[in-house]
Amino acid sequence: MVADDSLTWSGSISPPNGLPMLWGLATDNIKSIVITSENDIQPNKLKIQDNLWLWYAPINTDKLNMPIMMKAYDEKGNILYGEKF
């Protein structure tokens, strides 16, 4: 699990349905996330409450590429977090 003031990220290697899942919580200052270790996929996001978003990405393979590597960007495209957590 990754934890920061603006971003918390985790994953499930062996979920009940057999497909790995990555998910995280981020504040509004994170506008985009790219999971570079999974072929640059961009996770979906849902607003949970003011200034808090749930980001999630089901992975369509039987295992996650380790280590999980990602980048998080602000509204101007500046990297706030990345690359390896």
Q: What is the mean pLDDT of the chain?
A: 83
Cα separation of 26 and 62, whole Å?
26
Rounded to the nearest 10°, the torsion over CA 23, 25, 29, 34 is -10
49 backbone dihedrals φ, ψ, rounded to 5° = -160, 180
Query: CATH 2.60.40.10: does it fit domain 2-84?
Result: yes
pTM over 0.75: yes
Q: How confident is the model at residue 12 (pLDDT cuts 50, 70, 90)?
A: confident
Euclidean distance between CA atoms 70 and 82, whole angstroms: 6
pLDDT tens sequence across 36-50: 989 999 999 999 999
